[in-house]
Amino acid sequence: MVALNTTVIAWVIFAVILVGWIVYFFLNKASARRELGSEAEMAPNRRTYYDDDVLEGRRLERMQILGVLLLLTLVIGLPAVWIHEPARQAGAVAGKNERFRFWGEELFQTTANGGFNCAGCHGGLKATGGQAPYAVTDPNTGEVKAVNWYAPALNTVFYRFSQDEVRFILQYGRPFSPMSAWGSLGGGPMTDQNIETLLVYLQSIQIKPTAGTCLTKADFVDKADPYVCDGGTLPQTNKDEITNAVKAYQAAHPGASEGEALFNSDLSSGAYSCARCHTQGWSYGDPGVTAQGGMGWNLTGGSTNAHFPNETDMISFIKAGSQMGKKYGMQGQGSGRMPGFGHLLTDEQIKAIVDYVRSL
Ligand code: HEC
Ligand code: HEC
Each residue of 173-195: pLDDT tens digit? 999 899 999 999 999 999 999 99
* Contact predicate 324/337, CB 8 Å: no
Distance CA 102, CA 201 (A): 7
pTM over 0.95: no
Distance CA 179, CA 332 (A): 26
Quick one: pLDDT at residue 245? 95
* Contact predicate 305/324, CB 8 Å: no
Quick one: pLDDT at residue 106? 97
Atom of ligand 1 nearest to the CA of 202: 35
Compute the mean pLDDT over every residue in the chain, rounded to the nearest whole number.
88
Quick one: pLDDT at residue 220? 44
| All residues at 6 or more sequence positions from 288 whose CB lies less than 8 Å from its CB, including other chains | 279, 280, 281
pLDDT above 90 as % of the chain: 59
Which range among 40-49, 105-114, 326-335 shows the weakest confidence by mean pLDDT? 40-49
Distance CA 206, CA 212 (A): 14
* Contact predicate 104/244, CB 8 Å: no
Distance CA 108, CA 117 (A): 6
Mean pLDDT across 123-131 = 95
Quick one: pLDDT at residue 224? 43
Domain annotation for the chain: domains and CATH numbers: 112-222 (no CATH), 236-358 (1.10.760)
Question: 343 C-alpha vs ligand 1 centroid, how far in Å?
Answer: 20
Quick one: pLDDT at residue 53? 86
Provide the terminal-to-terminal Cα distance of the chain, rounded to the nearest Å: 61
Quick one: pLDDT at residue 55? 86
φ and ψ of 138, to 5 deg: -70, 125
Work out whether the CA dihedral 65, 68, 72, 73 comes out positive or negative: positive
Residues with CB under 6 A from ligand 1: 108, 116-118, 120-122, 132, 149, 151-152, 154, 157, 160, 166, 169-170, 174, 177-179, 182, 198, 276, 283, 295, 339
pLDDT band at 1 (very low <50, low <70, confident <90, very high): low
Closest ligand (CA of 178): 1
pLDDT above 50 (res 335) = yes
Q: Whose CA is nearest to atom 37 of ligand 2?
A: 274
| All residues at 6 or more sequence positions from 281 whose CB lies less than 8 Å from its CB, including other chains | 287, 288, 294
Distance CA 141, CA 205 (A): 42
Residues in the chain: 360
Question: 109 C-alpha vs ligand 2 centroid, how far in Å?
Answer: 30
Max Cα distance, the chain (Å): 119
Mean pLDDT across 334-338 = 91
Quick one: pLDDT at residue 43? 76
